[in-house]
Chains A and B, each alone.
Chain A
């Protein structure tokens, strides 16, 4: 009797997330015949693209046992910088490159305080959250920047091989993140530091440099998301991205990455972002008032983590 027994707890543990997503999709397609249509599926993917890009950066930080609360504000800052430079006459490509560079630099700023000054990531990026927001407001005097060159429209509304550009950007960024985490020495170092920083240090891993990288990468992700959002709105708002950090953290955690570091991955984060996106979209289709939507969203996050927790304790 050497039949392999597949325990269903094991299945829940391994594919629970995907199963939860599929269950959600099944329920919503029963409740609304507009849900499972090609155009709505693309719609959902486009809606989650900004959150998924930020969340991919957040995943890298969280696996390294950090957290980045500054991404929403950094998104606003890099958005208005790109828009202002472009409106001011800089070639649009250069303006975008400058904004992405700025995201990277501000991430390095966060990371330097965490890795070299030894200040808790929560505190450093909380400070970043207000500093970057203040900078965005100061640069624009609190007003939106509009009259952008056409490349932003292409980013926001263009399509390629039948898929909207934001979805391509999201998929590309997720793929790069996956490669860094799973196929590069750098990624291995991030898991090691998140799992046991002391052991990583004693193994000769350059812990500070790697931590610095995680925050820089998260900054870059925020700036990339800012380009997509600016394209979608065809303007840059200094007040954009408020609370985006929380949506990103929610996607990461629902996606099975541990807040204690060392575990998880970007595929889970995509599923997490999809679960949250599908719920939002479904509730819109069902005309659930937005106040109630927030309650449901919070409840789903708790439920997902509870299931995860139960599955983990059964396996242990």
Chain B
């Protein structure tokens, strides 16, 4: 009998159905992989399991007992523990304190605490001093400590959400060894991943979700990478083709390198949209911050780009992945945000040229059809899609040659998304060169003139239209290597 059974799980966010009548079961002592594209519902299903979000419908039994978790603590009390992508450790506390965080006695006896911690670390074969501060550990070590902590809470079900995204190859091996050990000890592991080679390496079974539905559960030994990709993508083979536009003039080339990114050259023509594909940790997510002078080292046509100022000076602008923390000053108005990157050109003898500023803002409000078209509204009060338009207006006002778009539609609703695609498409017809980094495959296929696929910190494949949806997914997830 299964250790855990989830039946008919349904979860809606507004009018978006994130989970639609999903069944899922987990045997004792198995590693069960959960795969699917972004937005397929993997994380939502696990959040329901771990008590982070209550389901709208559905039931759950754990070891034969019907359970319903109202919060994380209740789930943990039943031995269901989730290890998050964003690590949930307190960096300034010691390993030992973190292991027992939230369960420390009122009066802490450090000798016992350290002794218990040593036992626990030995159990997971982690050679670490428990009195080390967590902030001095590598990401991989932190991840292993999280698992140790889960075990300290007598976890029966361990949920790992993309655990290898930030790990090196050796750290990944250690993690796999630990997962094997934990499974042999009778603990069940749910393993969420985008990387199929990992799934085939350590999982016993794999469940595929697509658009909030379960589309299949397979025994890994009897399945193949093609079959899994087929399930992830769906039966209908979709082909994508950009309306034929001949990208003419060569704009230039980026030469990039840095942490997590091997030396890479990307050439760009005017009017061209180059898509960057790859899972988190593939190096794809490093390309744009590097090209904008935020990390690593970058050259654009031999010119060294060492800071955002230098990048903007060279005609390179970035629409960052996080609007509210990197793109906008939420307290300021639409107009003040639009002017932010062009202050130097809107001033004369240091004084703001109000009429020119107004005119610039009005132009962009019209061109991007910003709603509401009010220059003095605080950007905080705009919708996600309109906030993103303000960021785009801000960087385009500098009259750049190269536009770097980092996850441009994250947190933007479907209608506004289509509108942003029109804007992006329109920009390419005006002679800009665009680099589009996205974890949304559909978005990449619909917009890119060519797609560079990243794995292990380097470009492994260049794909040209017409694209096969499956082919792109196979390259991104590494299913190609397994075939």
Contacts and interface: CB of A to CB of B under 8 A. Distances in A.
A78 to B, nearest CB: 26
A264 to B, nearest CB: 10
B167 interface: no
Interface stretch (A169-177, A187-195, A249-257): A187-195
A185 to B, nearest CB: 4
Contacts of A205: 340, 343
Interface in A219-277: 262-263
A183 B339 CA distance: 13
Given A196-B325, A202-B318, A202-B327, A189 B343 contact: yes
The interface centre, meaning the residue of A188, A191, A202 with most chain B CB atoms within 10 A of its CB, is: A202
B331 A185 contact: no
A198 B309 contact: no
A204 B330 contact: no
Nearest to A198: B326
Contacts of B347: 184-185
Nearest to A258: B331
B350 interface: yes
B329 A183 contact: no
Contact of B330 (A184, A195, A201): A195
Tell which of A185, A188, A192, A196 has the most Cβ of chain B within 10 Å.
A185
Interface string B287-329: 0000010100000000000001101110000101000011111
B374 to A, nearest CB: 17
Given A183-B351, A192-B340, A206 B309 contact: yes
Interface in B344-361: 344, 346-347, 350-352
A184 B351 contact: yes
A310 interface: no
Contacts of A184: 347, 350-352
Given A204-B341, A206-B309, A195 B318 contact: no
A108 to B, nearest CB: 19
B309 A199 contact: no
Contacts of A196: 325, 328-330
Interface of A: 183-186, 188-189, 191-192, 195-196, 198-206, 262-263
26 contacts: A183-B351, A183-B352, A184-B350, A185-B346, A191-B332, A191-B336, A192-B329, A192-B340, A195-B331, A196-B328, A196-B329, A196-B330, A199-B325, A200-B329, A202-B294, A202-B318, A202-B326, A203-B340, A204-B309, A204-B311, A204-B313, A204-B398, A205-B340, A205-B343, A206-B309, A263-B331
Q: Which 4 A-B pairs have the closest CB atoms?
A: A195-B329, A185-B347, A204-B312, A203-B340
Interface of B: 292, 294, 308-309, 311-313, 318, 320, 325-332, 336, 339-341, 343-344, 346-347, 350-352, 394, 398
